[in-house]
Structures are given as structure tokens and as C-alpha cells.
Amino acid sequence: MNFEGLDPGLAEYAPAMHSALDPVLDAHLNPSLLQNVELDPEGVALEALPVQESVHIMEGVYSELHSVVAEVGVPVSVSHFDLHEEMLWVGSHGGHATSFFGPALERYSSFQVNGSDDIRQIQSLENGILFLTKNNLKYMARGGLIIFDYLLDESDDMHSLLLTDSSTLLVGGLQNHILEIDLNTVQETQKYAVETPGVTIMRQTNRFFFCGHTSGKISLRDLRTFKVEHEFDAFSGSLSDFDVHGNLLAACGFSSRLTGLACDRFLKVYDLRMMRAITPLQVHVDPAFLRFIPTYTSRLAIISQSGQCQFCEPTGLANPADIFHVNPVGPLLMTFDVSASKQALAFGDSEGCVHLWTDSPEPSFNPYSRETEFALPCLVDSLPPLDWSQDLLPLSLIPVPLTTDTLLSDWPAANSAPAPRLRAPPVDAEILRTMKKVGFIGYAPNPRTRLRNQIPYRLKESDNEFDSFSQVTESPIGREEEPHLHMVSKKYRKVTIKYSKLGLEDFDFKHYNKTLFAGLEPHIPNAYCNCMIQVLYFLEPVRCLIQNHLCQKEFCLACELGFLFHMLDLSRGDPCQGSNFLRAFRTIPEASALGLILADSDEASGKGNLARLIQRWNRFILTQLHQDMQELEVPQAYRGAGGSFCSSGDSVIGQLFSCEMENCSLCRCGSETVRASSTLLFTLSYPEGSNSDKTGKNCDFAQVLKRSICLEQNTQAWCDNCEKYQPTIQTRNIRHLPDILVINCEVNSLKEADFWRMQAEVAFKMAMKKHSGEISKSKEFALADWKELGSPEGMLMCASIEELKNIWLPFSIRMKMTKNKGLDVCNWTDGDEMQWGPARAEEEHGVYVYDLMATVVHILDSRTGGSLVAHIKVGETYHQRKEGVTHQQWYLFNDFLIEPIDKHEAVQFDMNWKVPAILYYIKRNLNSKYNLNIKNPIEASVLLAEASLARKQRKTHTTFIPLMLNEMPQVGDLVGLDAEFVTLNEEEAELRSDGTKSTIKPSQMSVARITCVRGQGPNEGIPFIDDYISTQEQVVDYLTQYSGIKPGDLDAKISSKHLTTLKSTYLKLRFLIDIGVKFVGHGLQKDFRVINLMVPKDQVLDTVYLFHMPRKRMISLRFLAWYFLDLKIQGETHDSIEDARTALQLYRKYLELSKNGTEPESFHKVLKGLYEKGRKMDWKVPEPEGQTSPKNAAVFSSVLAL
């Protein structure tokens, strides 16, 4: 509000005179106020104004219900009804804030906001209250705690704020700019220039921002750009107040007279539909405040400073009979506000009093208010007194309240254990020798024997110093909690995508992945296998082999995995999704039989045992890839990378993973049966009774692995000699070791978990003895010991203590085939290599060294149902392709979260929350054995004519002409593309309490039709691909209005369309991408995402971005075609041929308007005109008199002729 035209007597109310800290009663206080107010001895009023016990309120007519003193003698500067709770907030000229609860105006809280400046505006949020002073914005809880304090520029003089959404705030004042502040980050995001300075009032509707200026003008600004769209010159002097409701704007203010400013008794009313003034409304009071109170009609409440209030219709005549009087204690009313329910009015006067007027005896401030939290009542008066002089008085006379929370004094034993430090080490002799004294201060040069500003201390050693497994909280409350809830590191927790109204466009994937490797999105059904897909991708021979594979099977996992690997190769840090691979995976009968297909409810709730599931999936995928490589239906279907990938009778997957074995069965009759077999992976077999041995017996991982590979067990088997089932001894001998050793850990019970935990403890104690020896409890350290500990080597040893915990798994193992078909397995370290020589030289003698390449772990987290992550050692070739550097690094892959980690973290397994599931060891120098070249197996023949799957299709129904051999696209050729989709699963969303919608899981879409049209040549605009995609999954919604797809179009039995498989059409698009064509379309980002294609950005020409201005809405293809091409498209439904051809024509128009991109300024003017026209038309195309579309164009007739 502008105070320039107010009573000059207000100048006496300077903020310094009415500070909340001043205990003296104000000299201007009305003596009548003191009649029923008690003062303390120093003269400060402590109680509110009394109200008569019975107040008669006439229903539907506003009358005074209560009056209360906020702060005696200090004028009220602002009042505000809380939008979330039943409270009224009042701010004073002394910078003090007070809140009152309910219609009885019971004092709730009172606190100082600013020590010198007055509070100019109050805004309530869900978690607190915003207070605006001259150059300060403060966010405080309703109890008075500060949430943030944002200091503005000292030269600013702020008067108004406007909350545009839940997290964005506009702040304006007497300067020539308006600030936009993000409440989440508490940072200034925009600074909008204002042509007319002095914005003291701001309002908002769904069409405009309204800014009231001190000059008497009201400007209407665009919601997106904040540019002035219209301006009303309301008053010649100054603006006092205005309000907006529906299509009406009403304002009051001051007019310039010869003697100065005078209050204008004519309210200016404007019609926002025609943007012009209508007949001014003459009122019978001097208007200082006005508000629309739309209860039954859109009536206005006009308030004068002297306390007169008049109600009238904005388009009618004011009646003097509709005036009632507020009786302020002070001479003037300073503030006015209306509750959200329109049932209550609040007035604040110049003597610090607040008056509440209501239209009912029991009003509510909000339609739906939440419950207000009150402080607990004080119980001190009800407790018996205690005499502290009595030593034997039991303190239990004061009861302790019963609580389920952990007491502050109830610390766990780990935090309460005494840890006294030993005596400080003696001063270095070199320092004493070179010291020079000046008075009592000595100076000496630094001998550089220890790290700067660090003096090492050794804590007193205890029995469980390095044992974190046995630490249990002593609190009985603490034992009931699940300890692993607080153990899971943030990067290991299950990551989820937060969807907004823009979908994924504004989700920041870079926050989770700062590398150039691609993550995988987890929202697709059965995406629990994402971590294993990453493991297979980072096996270089597997990656090359899979991408060289191509066959004719519709649902081939090897082909789909190769397509996904190609996307991971092209990505530069953006996440990919394995939707097509998982779609093929769901069609495999063996996957369903093994229980690998999870229902959405089981996957979301985490009911399935993910560790067992991923181990079964690991065995299944290796077996399936092995079979797919062997089942080559035609000789040219699989185009390998050379002789290294070709093997007679076996696939390359078999060469990489298969281990040849001899299974011997010895009966007690002496008969022995030997048969050869092979396996693609091994399962760990743990020693019997391992959990019952608590002595901590050491058992190397190599020993357990050897026992699992060369398995020996007693079982019932058929004996040909005895001709019946007999107890036999089954043994397994290795004939040939695999290149990649895959191990399923099978930690499926507490027994196996205890074994891993115990072996990690034993390994840790042995490592501590080896590195630092036994530390004596009573040992005194000499100076030399401290020097060694202070050195970088000593500090490294101390820092690596945490790295040694929870480790039992070796980084390398050494395996040797003996002459008697035996197998020796041992752990291998870098020190062993120096002793025995390079591993490559020993391979000639049957000795192989395997290095750990990946570990897949199960994260136990009851809050999210658990998840699966992978630690992968990414090789040099991947870093060379992505980052141009040559090195190896361990990374954590948690769906789309990718983070580099230390190598020890890959083998650290805290069994409380991090359980190993799968291990991958690879032979050293594995890549040198294989040809790692990739030859693209997709040929140009995929674009030639092909038969349709539909039985009823006829030539007359053909909507496209396939490419001829002389029309094959070249690099840089234009191809118009459009796709239509159907819905397989509906979107899952929830409605929040504030009315906003939150997307939990987006709808699952499937591509139903793909169209490509020629972009140049004599047949430009004629489609060469128009494929309808057959689907075996149930379609929930065909989206016929938007896709043009009807039920039956995708059914091969009754469809008359050109029906193909998704794989067939996918190969066509992949060939076009690989050849280097440029795709032209509208909204191609979503199309490629659903099709599951990764297209380089320089090959995409999207008209939705070509005709787009920053920070403004995206424009539909229908509106662009009408505006630029004078075409009426998408009348009753969408047609992909029509849309693709229209996008091509729009691109030609873009080149014409922008002069091939050489004149961006002139094109910017064209876009500005486009947006202005769109706003006027409300972005709707006028109904056509005669339908005109590209189908009627001459170019389409040529299609029919051909």
C-alpha cells in the first residue's frame, strides 16, 4: 500500500519510537484503552483487550466479534489470515509479529522479526511464514524459529511479495526491478526490469501478473516472460489498493489536486476481457482498501482509514445504507485482510489493536484447515516440592514421562566407551636444538618430519577396537529398531525418478551420474537385471560378440542385447532404457517357468528375494545367449568379427564361459562311471558346520572356490553293475578352465552370511597383524615411532584400516591344472607376481591368474524393499572411447547412478545390508585372445520390400512405396518421421493434500505405427516406411483420438494394414541412423524414447524446438501447420503420414524464414509474432470451413498414381 496520501499525523509513528524492546507506554496511546488493561510495574500492557461475554452476531451480516491488542501503542502495519491453519498474523511498525488462534483471537506466538524496520507483508506457507521488511526476507516457523534469513541489497526498498507457486516468489518495491527467488535453494533466479518503478502491490490470475505502481498505473504482465501486455493509467496521483476477481479489476487511489493529493471517491473498474475501463463506481467513503468478497455475488468491500466500510456491486450503484462502522481505538485503520473462507475480516489500527468482524458466531478462516500444534502444558505446578538440602530424598518422586523414543542420555556403548589418550610425544630433538627464544616464546624451523598441523594420538586399544559386528545398542528401545536402516550409504539406496508435468525433461540425471558412461532407467517392469546388463556390457569380448550377432528370430535376447549395447556405446552420460530387451525377455517361456518374470506389485514391494532372483537370471541369460549363438537359422544371419569368433560345434559364449568337466560316479561295488559335461558358472559350496565354529578358523576364499569347483558329495545314483540305486561318491574334475569365471555366491540364509562375516573378521585380524603387528595396551611410543607414524606411509597405514574391514574376497586368484587332473587354487596378490613372475609366462604351464572384474550385491533396505547394484572394473578400452584416457577404474552402477569408487569398496561386504550375489573373474590379458572389431551386421536390404504379417492385407491398402536400390539414403539426407503409440499400462499417480498430482510410475507405451517419408528427390513427401507393429502384449488403450490406431489394426488375423514385427522396423531405423540421415519430425525425443533408439543430436531436426522461444510453451504441430503453411491437419484423428510430411514442409519453411540459419534476428521476430498470435487465439486453430490437408495436395496424388 502507498502511504503518500494518508493522514500526516502518521509521521509521528516512527519505528524507533515504537520498538518492541522499548518498555515505555506510547505517549499517543488513547486513554480509553487503559480502562480494562492491567499494566506491569514498568507500564507495559500484558493482556489483550477484553471482549463482552455475549456478542450477538446476525447470520450473513458482518459485525464485530472480537478485538485484541497486538502491541500497545505501536501501529499495525500488516495483517494476514493463515492459509493453512486457523490463525491470524499481525505485523507491527516496530518489526514485531504476533499470531492469534481461532475466532477467539487467543495469542499463539509472538516474536521479533526485525529490530528496526516495519513488517510490510506476510505470506503463509505450509511449513512457515514469510515476512518482508525493507531489505530483508525472513522465513520463520509458526513458533518463531528462523528457517532462513535472506538479506536483499541495502539500496532496495521492498513493499510487496507474490507467491507464484509453492517454491517461487516475486519481490517488488520502489526500485526499477522485481526479483524472482527460489525458496528451495534460497537464491535469486531472475531479475526482471520494470519500466515504471515503484511496484507496491502485486496480484496474480491464471492469465496475468498485476503490478500496482506508486504513479497510479496498473500493468498486466505475461506469466512466462514478465513482459508488459497491457497497462491501465488508473489515477493521476497515486495508487492505494486494487483487487482482481474473474474478469473485473477494481482500484482505488489518489488524484492530483492543486493543494496536493486527494482521495478519489470514484473506484476505477476495468473489464479484462475487452481490456478497457467501464463506468467508474462512486462510493460514499474515502476508499483506502478494497477487496472482492465473492460469496453469493462479486461484491466489493471498500474501507476508509477512518473506519467506514461499504459493500457494493462493482457494476452497480453504491447504497449509503450498506455502510457500517469499525470502531478503531486509534484514529486510523492501517491494514485490512479477508480470510480465504470469506467469513472473517481483520482490521488493524494505529494504536496496535486488531478487530475481527465475522458473518457467523463460529467462523472458520479456511475451508479446510489443518490442526494447529500447541505447546505441551506445564506440569511443574502439579508436582510435589523437593527439598534439595535433604541428601536422602528420593529423586524418583518426580515421574519421568513414558516415551518410545530413545533418551538423550541413552547412548550406545560404542559412543560411551572411555578412550583416554596417551601422553603427548616428546618434542623433536631437532626442534630443541635449533630453537631460538625471545622472552618465553621459542622459534624453530620446521624439520618436516610429520604432516602439517597434525599430531597423531593412539586411542586406548580395546577388545572390539576393530570389531563393528558385535556392537549392539544397550538401549532396549534401540534393540527394537532395525539397525541396517541407518547403515545403507546414500549412493547404495534405491534410486527413483521423480516425474513432473514435463515427464523426464526436467529431471537432473547429471546429479546422479557425472561420468560419460550410460546408466539404465529402473521404472520398466523387471528392470532388476539392470546391474547384470552393465556387467555383460563391460566384458569387452561379450560386447563385441553380441553387437556382431543378428538373426531372424523375432524375440532373440542376443539381438536385443546387441541393440541395447549399441545405445550404451552412443550415449554420452544420458541414461538408456532396456524396454525392448525386457519385452523380448518377457516372451521367453523358460524365463516365466524359472520365476524370473515379476509382477509389478512384487517388484515394487520387494517381496521377491532379489539375490536368488538375479543368480537365477545370471544362469538363464548365459544359457540363452549360448543357445542363440548356436541357432543360426541362415548362414549369413550371423556375421562374426573373424576367425576368433567362429567355432565348430560351440558358440563363442561357450568359449568364454564354458568349463569342461569330468563327472565320476563311484559305487560301493567298485564300479566307476565317467561322463563329460560343461557348465557356464559355478555355485559356491560352503563348509558344513561353518557357523557353529566360533573360534574364528581361517578359510581362504580360494579353498572354498576349489571345493565348489571340484565338488565331492555322496548321493544316491543308478549303478549299471548293481542294477539298482546305490549310495555313490560323486566327484568332479576339471579338464579345461573358462576364460571368464562366473560364481554365484548363494548367500541365501543366515548360515552363509555368518560364514562370510566370520571369515572377514579373521582376515581383518590377520591383516592387522601383518601390517602393524600386535599393539600392546601399555606400550609407550618413542620419538622414532611417532616419526614413522607421522610420515605419509604411516598415515596411509592408519587410513587404510577402514579399507581392510569386511573383506574376505581376493582381487586375484591363481589356478593351476595338475598332471593328475587336479586343480590348485590360491589367492594371488601383486607381491606374489613379483615373486613368481608374470602370469602370462606361466600360462604355457597350465597356470592362470584371474582378476576380479565385477561383483553384484544385494542391498538390504526394508524401506524400499532392497535393490541390486554392481561394482564393475571398467577397462582401458571403454575409457579410451568415452573419455580419451587410458586407465582402469572401479565404478558403482546403481541403475542411473554411476559413481567412481575405491577398489576396496568393491569387495567390502557388511552382511547387515550389503550381501554378495554374483562374482565375475576374468583371465588376465583376456582381450588379446579375441578379435574385438565390430562389423555392423545390418545391411541395406532391410529397407527393401517385405511381406506383411496381416492375412487380409491387399495391394490396394498399401500406403507407402518401398525404396528402390537407386534411392538408398546417403549421409545427410532428410527423412520425415512420425510414430504413433498405444498404452500397455496406465499411469500410476497420487493426489497430494494440496491438490497437486504426483506421478509414481508413468504409463508404459508401445510403438504401434512408424512412418518415414522421403525428404528429397522427385518423390519427396512419399512414404517409404509405414509399418504397423504387431504386439503380443495386452493393450490397455489404443488412444485412437491421438494415434489413429483402432482395435484390430495390430492383430495379424483381422488387420488390413502392413503389419510387421518391432524388430523388423527397428532394423530399418537403425540402418538409417547408422548411415547418417537426418530425421525431421515434431516431438521426436519422445518418439525415439518409446521406440528405444539412441540417435545422435546432430541427426535430429525437431520442429518443436526450431519454432520455440526460451522459457515459453511448446507449440503443437497442428497450430504451426495452420500458421505457417495454411494447412488444417489432425481434424478428427492423427495420421502419421500427414504429420511426417507436415514436419518436412515446416522444416523447409524454417530454412526459408531464417535464410538457412544465417539471420536469427529476423527469425526471432517471426517467432514473436507466432507467440502473439497464439496467445490471442488461445493456441486453438479455427474450425475449418472446407477441410484442407496435405492429403489433398498434389504431392499426395502422385502417391496414388505410383
Is residue 489 over pLDDT 80? yes
Predicted confidence band of residue 955 (pLDDT cuts 50, 70, 90): low
- pLDDT (tens digit, 9 = 90+) per residue, 841-885? 455 567 889 999 999 999 998 777 789 999 999 999 998 888 888
Predicted confidence band of residue 502 (pLDDT cuts 50, 70, 90): low
C-alpha cell at 185: 535453494
Predicted confidence band of residue 267 (pLDDT cuts 50, 70, 90): very high
pLDDT at 123: 95
Is residue 1148 over pLDDT 90? yes
Q: What angle do CA 1080, 1082, 1084 make, to 5 degrees?
A: 75
**CA 452 to chain CA centroid, nearest Å:** 41
Mean pLDDT score, 83-91: 95
Question: From CA 519, how far away is CA 513, in angstroms rounded?
Answer: 8
- pLDDT (tens digit, 9 = 90+) per residue, 169-226? 999 999 999 999 999 889 898 899 998 888 999 999 999 999 999 999 999 999 988 9
- pLDDT (tens digit, 9 = 90+) per residue, 991-1027? 777 767 777 777 788 899 999 999 998 989 999 999 9
Q: Which residue, 504, 602, 597, is CA-closest to 1090?
A: 504
The residue type of 291 is R
887 DSSP 8-state letter: -
pLDDT at 651: 76
Residues paired with 202 in a beta bridge: 211
The larger pLDDT score, comparing residue 168 to residue 1055, is at: 168
Mean pLDDT score, 719-727: 80
Scanning 845-960, the segments in alpha helix (DSSP H) are: 876-883
The residue type of 243 is D
Asked whether 113 and 140 are in contact (CB, 8 A), the reply is yes
C-alpha cell at 340: 480465504
Tell me whether strands 682-683 and 740-744 are parallel, antiparallel or unpaired: parallel
pLDDT at 819: 75
Mean pLDDT score, 660-675: 82
Among left, alpha and beta (phi > 0; psi -120 to 50; other), residue 899 is: beta
Question: From CA 442, how far away is CA 433, in angstroms rounded?
Answer: 11
Question: From CA 1030, how far away is CA 1032, in angstroms rounded?
Answer: 7
Asked whether 674 and 660 are in contact (CB, 8 A), the reply is no
Question: From CA 74, how far away is CA 97, in angstroms rounded?
Answer: 12
Scanning 113-182, the segments in alpha helix (DSSP H) are: none
Is residue 113 over pLDDT 90? yes
Question: From CA 1108, how far away is CA 1175, in angstroms rounded?
Answer: 14
**Residue 274 to residues 205, 248, 278: CA-CA distances in angstroms?**
16, 10, 10
Q: Which residue, 810, 873, 863, is CA-closest to 494?
A: 863
Predicted confidence band of residue 605 (pLDDT cuts 50, 70, 90): low
Q: Which residues contact 615 (CB under 8 A, 6 or more apart)?
A: 744, 745, 746, 917, 918
Is residue 892 over pLDDT 80? yes
**CA 1036 to chain CA centroid, nearest Å:** 28
**Residue 731 to residues 444, 677, 680, 688, 708: CA-CA distances in angstroms?**
73, 13, 18, 17, 11
Residues paired with 353 in a beta bridge: 69
pLDDT at 700: 86
Mean pLDDT score, 338-348: 93
Residues paired with 221 in a beta bridge: 209, 228
Question: From CA 827, how far away is CA 836, in angstroms rounded?
Answer: 13
Asked whether 1053 and 951 are in contact (CB, 8 A), the reply is yes
Q: 830 burial class (0-12, 13-18, 19+ CB within 10 angstroms)?
A: exposed
Asked whether 329 and 349 are in contact (CB, 8 A), the reply is yes
Mean pLDDT score, 755-778: 73
Is residue 633 over pLDDT 50? no
The residue type of 374 is F
Is residue 939 over pLDDT 70? yes
Predicted confidence band of residue 249 (pLDDT cuts 50, 70, 90): very high
Q: Cβ atoms within 10 A of the Cβ of 361, count?
A: 12
Radius of gyration of the chain (CA): 40
Residues paired with 1102 in a beta bridge: 1081
Q: What angle do CA 57, 59, 65 make, to 5 degrees?
A: 30
Q: Percent of the chain at pLDDT above 90? A: 39
Return the SS3 of 852: strand
Question: Average pLDDT of the chain?
Answer: 81
The larger pLDDT score, comparing residue 423 to residue 519, is at: 519
- pLDDT (tens digit, 9 = 90+) per residue, 409-430? 777 776 766 665 556 677 888 8
**Helix 792-799 and helix 783-790, axial crossing angle in degrees, nearest 10:** 70
Question: From CA 572, how far away is CA 888, in angstroms rounded?
Answer: 18
Q: Supply the DSSP string of 633-692, one letter for each residue.
A: SSTTT---SSGGG--TTS-HHHHHH-EEEEEEEEETTS-EEEEEEEES-EE--PPTTTTT
Is residue 49 over pLDDT 60? no
- pLDDT (tens digit, 9 = 90+) per residue, 122-156? 999 999 999 999 999 999 999 999 999 999 988 88
The larger pLDDT score, comparing residue 272 to residue 1185, is at: 272
Which of 1096-1129 are b and which e, b meaning 16 or more Cβ less than 10 Å from the residue's Cβ?
A: eeebbbbbbebbbeeeeeebbbbbbbbbbbebbb
The larger pLDDT score, comparing residue 455 to residue 63, is at: 63
Question: From CA 995, how far away is CA 1010, in angstroms rounded?
Answer: 38
Tabulate helix, strand, coil % of the chain (nearest 5). 25, 30, 45
Among left, alpha and beta (phi > 0; psi -120 to 50; other), residue 496 is: beta
Residues paired with 266 in a beta bridge: 282
Asked whether 960 and 1025 are in contact (CB, 8 A), the reply is yes
Residues paired with 503 in a beta bridge: 500
Mean pLDDT score, 1075-1086: 93
Question: From CA 342, how far away is CA 299, in angstroms rounded?
Answer: 11
Q: Which residue, 1167, 979, 972, 1174, is CA-closest to 1084?
A: 979
Q: Supply the DSSP string of 391-451, one letter for each residue.
A: TT--GGGSPPPP-SSPPTT---HHHHS---B-PPPPPPHHHHHH-EEETTEEE------S-
Q: Which residue, 214, 225, 326, is CA-closest to 261?
A: 214
Place of cell 507500564: 43
Asked whether 894 and 867 are in contact (CB, 8 A), the reply is yes
pLDDT at 763: 87
- pLDDT (tens digit, 9 = 90+) per residue, 1102-1112? 999 999 988 88
C-alpha cell at 540: 569387452
26 DSSP 8-state letter: P
pLDDT at 57: 57
Scanning 852-975, the segments in alpha helix (DSSP H) are: 876-883
C-alpha cell at 30: 488513547
**Residue 406 to residues 260, 727, 883: CA-CA distances in angstroms?**
68, 58, 50
pLDDT at 251: 95
Asked whether 629 and 652 are in contact (CB, 8 A), the reply is yes
Residues paired with 1023 in a beta bridge: 1013
pTM of the complete model beyond 0.75: no
Asked whether 683 and 919 are in contact (CB, 8 A), the reply is no
Q: Give the dihedral sign, CA 848/852/853/858.
A: positive
Is residue 799 over pLDDT 50? no
Question: From CA 786, how far away is CA 429, in angstroms rounded?
Answer: 13
Is residue 12 over pLDDT 70? no
pLDDT at 6: 45
Instruction: Find the range with the poorest average confidence among 584-588, 617-621, 955-959.
Output: 955-959
Place of cell 472473517: 344
Query: Which uninterrupted H or E stretch holds 535?
Result: helix 530-537
Q: Supply the DSSP string of 751-783, one letter for each residue.
A: HHHHHHHHHHHHHHHHHHHHHH-PPPTTPPPPH
Asked whether 353 and 69 are in contact (CB, 8 A), the reply is yes
Q: Percent of the chain at pLDDT above 70? A: 80
Is residue 323 over pLDDT 70? yes
Question: From CA 190, how far away is CA 173, in angstroms rounded?
Answer: 15
pLDDT at 797: 44
